[in-house]
Structure 1
Amino acid sequence: MNKNLAKLAVPVGVVGIILLLVVPIPAIMLDILIIVNIMLGLVTLLTTMFVKKPLEFSVFPSLLLVATLFRLGLNVASTRLVLGDGYAGQVIEAFGHVAVGGSIIIGSVIFLILVVIQFVVVTKGAERVAEVGARFTLDAMPGKQMAIDADLSAGLITDAEAKARRAEVSAEADFYGAMDGASKFVKGDAIAGLIIIIINLVGGIAIGMLQRGMEIGDALNTYALLTIGDGLVTQIPALLMAVSTGMIVTRSNAETDIGSTASAQLTQSRVALVIAGGAAILMAIIPGMPVLPFLIVGGTLIVVAQRLKVREASNVATAAASEAAEKSVAKTDTTEDLIEQMRVHALEIMLAPDLVDIVSGASDDLLARVRGLRRKIAMDLGVVVPPVRTRDSVDLPSSTYVIRIAGVEYGRGIAPAGKVLALGDFLDTLPGTETVEPVFGLAGKWVPSEMRHSAEMTGATVIDRVSVVVTHLSSIITINAARLLTREDVRVLTDGVKQVNPSSVDDLIPGLLSLAEVQRVLQGLLIEQIPINDLPRIYEALSLRAKTSNDPEGLIEAARMALGPALTAQYLDGSVLRVIMIEPALEQSMLEGMRPSDQGTQILMDPARIEAVLSSVRASVATVEASGLSAVLVCAPALRPAIRRLVSTQTGGLPVLSYQEVTSANVTIETVGVVRGTDSISA
């Protein structure tokens, strides 16, 4: 029932306002509606002070339109009563006689002052802030959307979180766009109030003199006071709504309401309060100045400053006690503590002391983002990444972080405090430190956080510090996934497969292959960035192959064949697979030159010819990439492992597939290059 009433309240209210414009109402009803109007303005103003961010009061633009229409309706109703009956209720009469002392001049001055405050100061400023806020918000939308997409691609947020953040960005743009238009209502309301008071004054004097035979003095005294009272009772709530408009458009996202934020920030400097209090006391001794008010204000400021001093001392003592307790715990040298300190962690992020603020325990800090990254890699690669240990190191330079695997440094970067990374082509006008993004090698610049919107307006992609660190960590984990896959991980994964597909495990382990041999096969797949999440299919292929040979290279190729369609799918452009072929004569020569070794099969060829082959591969890849495309190298199944070892380090990880893997998927093959063993290259 209550929900139905709330749903009907606004439509019924708007219909009532429309009726108010054309249907006369009694004076007592007008008094009630005027009081409701004043209270509505007051409640709206207080609400804007207690919201933490503007979107919490997203209905404000529509409410502003309804409130403006309501005040205009009251203006029409009160004008009808003033001109028709010479009486418009007790509220207007009280404002006309009591609030301004029954003086036409005083009432006129007060009304004009209210109009100036509302129209020239509050409304004009709010209109400009709303216009600038709407423009900046709309300009920043593409950058925010790209940042959300980047976080989603890196696994830092889920699909639901990305959807919620996109909805918030869209709602923010809609809100500021609506506020840009709604601020015109406030401006028009101020102008309408001034025009209506002039019309009422002229019309009242004319009716008093022409219809009621009153002298001009009596007519002026009667109708002018009623008109001024009418103007005041409508301008006061209009001023409240104008201040609410200014408050909501200047309100930035914060964790607390405006009162708590203002109190905390105004009292953050004890020295400022002491200086202000001292200045007030000095002004009290100036001849002619009122001594008591200045002394009261100055003394209050100094007392507040002293209380802040006591509070700061208490906070320092508490922090020192906490630090001492932590040090006492750290000094323990039991055998277990020493063993823990000696243990080499699989994954570590070491932070310079000035970067520990990114490990804050908040919902979007480094630890939370790393947890999301572990989940993303587990879904994509089928590998459970070990927990990431995060600790600070005084040996690191300022703003530096280091990513280590098994105690060895695998990556290093910077993430300066108070700055964001801008990636783009037009960053020369922005202040900051030039840098190179550690994952993709893109040129960028660390700019101050307050310049974020300016950077986005240049078309740059802006990334926060935590995202830079997590993206770097994601790249290192993906490249070194094989190194992170331990034998214990393989056992846990195998136990999981056994619960849902026991036959595939029972046939393979331990009868045909040991756990160590299975680990070696899975590591071989991960080296080539092949997901191992389809373990039942991999184990079935290994069972068939292991019955004839336990050669690791052959086992890896058997697992690849079982995953053939999935391998090919990640390189498709629609349904087209662009491939670089090997010249048949060259391929036959390579097959004849194959020899086994401890590292797998190798191709014995003349060094000059090998260099010609590598040059041809690089040229073909460069030609394809120049067209904005990507391709894979295909060859005979027997050659694939040896070819991959030969060309992967020379071509930035060019994928190498066998003919069987390519033809196992229903794709359209497009040849974009041919590798030759001579200096002539065809592409």
Structure 2
Amino acid sequence: MKARDISVLLGVILVIIMLVIPLPGALLSFFILINIILALIVILVAMNTTEPLQFGVFPTLILLLTLFRLALNVSTTRSILSEAEAGGVVDTFGTFVIGDNPFVGFVVFIILVIINFLVITKGSERVSEVAARFSLDAMPGKQMSVDADLNAGLISEAQAKERREKIEREADFHGSMDGASKFVKGDAIAGIIIVIINILFGLIIGMVQMGMSMDEAVNTFMRLTVGDGLVSQIPALLISTATGIVVTRSAGSNNLSADVMDQLLQFPKLLYIAGGTIFLLGLTPINFFLTTSLAAILILGGYWMQNRATKEEEPTVEEEEETESTALKQPENVVSLLNMDPIEFEFGYGLIPLADTAQGGDLLDRVIMIRRQLAIELGLVIPVVRIRDNIQLNPNEYRLKIKGNEVANGELMLDHYLAMTPDFGEEEIDGIDTKEPAFGLPAKWINEDVKDEAELSGFTVVDPPSVVSTHITEVIKRHAHQLLGREETKQLIDHLKESNPILVEEVTPEPLSTGDIQKVLAKLLRESVSIRNLPIIFETLADFSKMTNDTELLGEYVRQSLSAQITKNYAQENNQMKVITVSGKVEKTIADNIQQTEHGNFLSLDPETQQQIIKTIHAEAEKLSLQEETTILICSPAIRMYLKQLLDRFLPQVVVLSYNELEPTVEVQSVGVVNIA
């Protein structure tokens, strides 16, 4: 333990001892001066902080200093009542204030106590309560503001996390200050009660036990009581003032002194008015020389400040050119151009209302919800989506880029609704023919006047923000594997390590590197398999990575471990699954043409056989598409990976599952067979 930690612990123990053991006058004087020094340091720190969290220990410090001050009060009261003596500091303060008239000095002391209790302490307590309430009420709005900035790409994930933590700490601080202000109030009340006890019982003890006369007892105990009260109330007044400064100040870039001078004197011309007013007061019986001197100082000060503000207002043209030239020459300006946003959403100027909150746009909030939704569905933290307008695009056009490459685009009509064609009947409705961008379904842009009619006719009607949100969601899902790099994989591993350290240590860095794990996870995401269940994934990798380090094979083993998840994704509500099965002949043909090399295994089929397989699967898929069923192909585990690789270039939408990836409880219904001549 460090020396400073021990010193604080010893200080707290000493305070407890002071409440029980009598202290000599010299030691009391020493502790009283320490109390005054600590109070001075506290108020100076409070005046020089620019935001409350820089003095985050203040609420706890108030409690400790209050306890220390009360322990001193108990010790001095014991000495005053038992020995009519409380050390040189108390005696000196009492003599200086009382002077020749004990009652006048006592009145001055009472006024000081009233100021501390009714003005500063009461005000600080009320401000603390209001600040705590408003801080808690403002937390959701501040959190949403951070999320919006993160979504817009104005801040990074690390900066967003830091700002969220700061918001939470500020709320905790104001809540603590609300409680700590009660200590200050209680200390002021205790000080008043102790003063009354010292005077009343001091007079009784002085006259009855010590044989003093009435005048002598009043003079002695009044002096000591006022002195004790002063050495207690002065630090209390400083702490109360510091409390008021901390809770009434908003965050600023400068300390209190700089802010007061900058803001109080920010309008130099007003000093002329103040100077003229003081000069006019000098025409009354008030001291003319004094008022004229003050007026002259104010007017000269205003003139000097006005000239200085004019000189500092704008830099010269040469300074601007030199600054710009220097900035352009800095290497950071070139290096920053190399940065590439993982996801970019660009739109033409006609779609600005989508993202402009002043015009009712909620795209930023929708993107926040998309990132949260995909984190739950895919188990992947989607990077920040950089949203910006692009004048090079058509007014109603938008496009989505992933790692600098355009992966999707579309057009919106903000004053229309998108009505998707119903699945039944031949209903017609007036509108502009188009296609729904996310799934390519036939649709129409319709006016608001015919919205109700379209809904009654069975059309699915959505507004433009929902259209673009759905498109963004589906595109990111399809390209999620491209967003998972080694850095993102390392973050997932570190997160898992917090709850399953032994499991992670068994898998990485040996026998699998971060890059190997990234390839396995990306393989799952490529086929829309969520990686959220990392414990099961790592359990499987721990079991099979000892037998092979082929990431493609490891991915297949992981898929089989996630059979419950995969089955749930594709099974219908009645626990049935319509599938297309692969004939034994096709499976044998594929298995016989798997080539094994030192760099991995791959399928080597002749073009004619490939064409037959693809043509057959395409025909079966078209039948299912007419019934609006997902095309699911089922085969043996040995060939699933190679069959999926074959179809990826021609029929990427076809889902390929192996028998081992289906739960026994699901009812598989074969609606077609893939065969070759």
Conservation of the 8 A alpha-carbon contact between 2:278 and 2:294: no
Q: Offset at 1:256?
A: 4.9
Letter paired with 2:275: A
Structure 2 partner of 1:613: 627
Q: 1:568 to 1:278 in 2, by over 3 A?
A: farther
Structure 2 partner of 1:37: 35
1:280 maps to which of 275, 278, 298: 275
Report the more deviating stretch, 98-107 or 163-172: 163-172
Partner-residue secondary structure (3-state), 2:655: strand
Letter paired with 1:309: T
Residues 162-241 of structure 1 correspond to what in structure 2 (within 5 A)? Answer: 171-241=169-239
Q: Deviations over 1:214-233 (max 9, x none)?
A: 44344333322321121111
Partner-residue secondary structure (3-state), 1:659: strand
1:69 maps to which of 57, 63, 67: 67
Structure 1 partner of 2:21: 23
Conservation of the 8 A alpha-carbon contact between 2:579 and 2:633: no
Rounded Cα–Cα distance in structure 2 between residues aligned with 1:397 and 1:214: 100
Q: Deviations over 1:435-470 (max 9, x none)?
A: xxx99xxxxxxxxxxxxxxxxxxxxxxxxxxxxxxx
Identity of aligned residues (%): 34
RMSD in angstroms over aligned alpha carbons?
6.3
1:579 maps to which of 553, 558, 571: 571
Residues 107-122 of structure 1 correspond to what in structure 2 (within 5 A)? Answer: 107-122=105-120
Rounded Cα–Cα distance in structure 2 between residues aligned with 1:49 and 1:390: 41
Q: Deviations over 1:354-375 (max 9, x none)?
A: 9xxxxxxxxxxxxxxxxxx9xx
Partner-residue secondary structure (3-state), 2:85: coil
Q: 1:8 to 1:403 in 2, by over 3 A?
A: same
Structure 2 partner of 1:94: 92
Q: 1:141 to 1:236 in 2, by over 3 A?
A: same
Q: Offset at 1:153?
A: 12
Report the more deviating stretch, 565-574 or 232-241: 565-574
Q: Offset at 1:82?
A: 2.7
Rounded Cα–Cα distance in structure 2 between residues aligned with 1:262 and 1:412: 54
Letter paired with 2:13: V
Q: 1:570 to 1:633 in 2, by over 3 A?
A: farther
Q: Offset at 1:90?
A: 2.6
Q: 1:411 to 1:90 in 2, by over 3 A?
A: farther
Rounded Cα–Cα distance in structure 2 between residues aligned with 1:571 and 1:251: 59
Q: Deviations over 1:145-166 (max 9, x none)?
A: 89999999999867x8888777
Structure 1 partner of 2:47: 49
Q: Offset at 1:562?
A: 7.4
Q: Deviations over 1:117-172 (max 9, x none)?
A: 322222223223333444455566678789999999999867x8888777666655
Q: Deviations over 1:572-599 (max 9, x none)?
A: 65995552455469999xx9xx995999
Rounded Cα–Cα distance in structure 2 between residues aligned with 1:397 and 1:585: 44
Letter paired with 1:274: K
Letter paired with 1:90: G
Q: Offset at 1:42?
A: 0.8
Conservation of the 8 A alpha-carbon contact between 2:275 and 2:299: yes
Q: 1:670 to 1:183 in 2, by over 3 A?
A: farther
Rounded Cα–Cα distance in structure 1 between residues aligned with 2:144 and 2:664: 32
Q: 1:199 to 1:569 in 2, by over 3 A?
A: same
Structure 2 partner of 1:249: 247
Q: 1:7 to 1:524 in 2, by over 3 A?
A: closer
Rounded Cα–Cα distance in structure 1 between residues aligned with 2:245 and 2:319: 37
Q: Offset at 1:185?
A: 1.0
Q: Offset at 1:307?
A: 1.3
Q: Offset at 1:210?
A: 3.3
Q: Offset at 1:296?
A: 1.8
Residues 498-577 of structure 1 correspond to what in structure 2 (within 5 A)? Answer: 563-566=555-558, 573=565
Q: Offset at 1:297?
A: 3.3
Structure 2 partner of 1:313: 314
Conservation of the 8 A alpha-carbon contact between 2:571 and 2:666: yes
Letter paired with 1:279: A
Conservation of the 8 A alpha-carbon contact between 2:43 and 2:238: yes
TM-score by length of structure 1 reads 0.55
Letter paired with 1:14: V
Q: Offset at 1:390?
A: 11
Q: Deviations over 1:255-287 (max 9, x none)?
A: 5544445555556xx5x3322443333442233
Q: Offset at 1:71?
A: 1.2
Structure 2 partner of 1:628: none
Q: Deviations over 1:484-540 (max 9, x none)?
A: 99xxxxxxxxxxxxxx99xxxxxxxxxxxxxxxxxxxxx9998766899x9xxxxxx
Partner-residue secondary structure (3-state), 2:86: coil
Conservation of the 8 A alpha-carbon contact between 1:345 and 1:406: no
Rounded Cα–Cα distance in structure 1 between residues aligned with 2:71 and 2:551: 79
* Structure 1 unaligned blocks of 5 or more: 330-339, 355-372, 414-437, 440-470, 486-499, 502-522, 535-557, 618-631, 649-654, 678-683
Q: Deviations over 1:364-395 (max 9, x none)?
A: xxxxxxxxx9xx99xx999xx9xx99999788
Q: Deviations over 1:78-107 (max 9, x none)?
A: 223333333323322222232454443443
Rounded Cα–Cα distance in structure 2 between residues aligned with 1:319 and 1:351: 34
Rounded Cα–Cα distance in structure 1 between residues aligned with 2:632 and 2:43: 70
Structure 2 partner of 1:508: none
Q: Offset at 1:9?
A: 1.8
Q: Deviations over 1:324-363 (max 9, x none)?
A: 888999xxxxxxxxxx9xxx99987779999xxxxxxxxx
Conservation of the 8 A alpha-carbon contact between 1:348 and 1:403: yes
Letter paired with 2:311: V
Structure 2 partner of 1:369: none
Rounded Cα–Cα distance in structure 1 between residues aligned with 2:38 and 2:56: 17
Rounded Cα–Cα distance in structure 2 between residues aligned with 1:345 and 1:141: 29
Q: 1:605 to 1:528 in 2, by over 3 A?
A: closer
Rounded Cα–Cα distance in structure 1 between residues aligned with 2:379 and 2:217: 89
Report the more deviating stretch, 598-607 or 301-310: 598-607
Rounded Cα–Cα distance in structure 2 between residues aligned with 1:106 and 1:316: 67
Q: 1:670 to 1:19 in 2, by over 3 A?
A: same
Rounded Cα–Cα distance in structure 2 between residues aligned with 1:257 and 1:249: 14
Structure 1 partner of 2:58: 60
Q: Offset at 1:39?
A: 0.4
* Structure 2 unaligned blocks of 5 or more: 331-336, 353-370, 413-436, 439-469, 485-510, 513-521, 532-536, 538-549, 587-608, 673-677
Q: Offset at 1:191?
A: 0.3
Q: Offset at 1:45?
A: 1.5
Conservation of the 8 A alpha-carbon contact between 1:346 and 1:406: no
Partner-residue secondary structure (3-state), 1:230: helix
Query: How many matched pairs?
Result: 496
Structure 2 partner of 1:547: none
Conservation of the 8 A alpha-carbon contact between 2:271 and 2:301: no
Q: 1:598 to 1:525 in 2, by over 3 A?
A: farther
Q: Offset at 1:175?
A: 3.7
Rounded Cα–Cα distance in structure 2 between residues aligned with 1:100 and 1:401: 82
Rounded Cα–Cα distance in structure 1 between residues aligned with 2:329 and 2:18: 76
TM-score by length of structure 2 reads 0.55
Rounded Cα–Cα distance in structure 2 between residues aligned with 1:200 and 1:483: 79
Structure 1 partner of 2:305: 304
Partner-residue secondary structure (3-state), 1:222: helix
Q: 1:668 to 1:285 in 2, by over 3 A?
A: farther
Q: Offset at 1:41?
A: 0.6
Conservation of the 8 A alpha-carbon contact between 2:206 and 2:212: yes
Rounded Cα–Cα distance in structure 2 between residues aligned with 1:480 and 1:675: 30
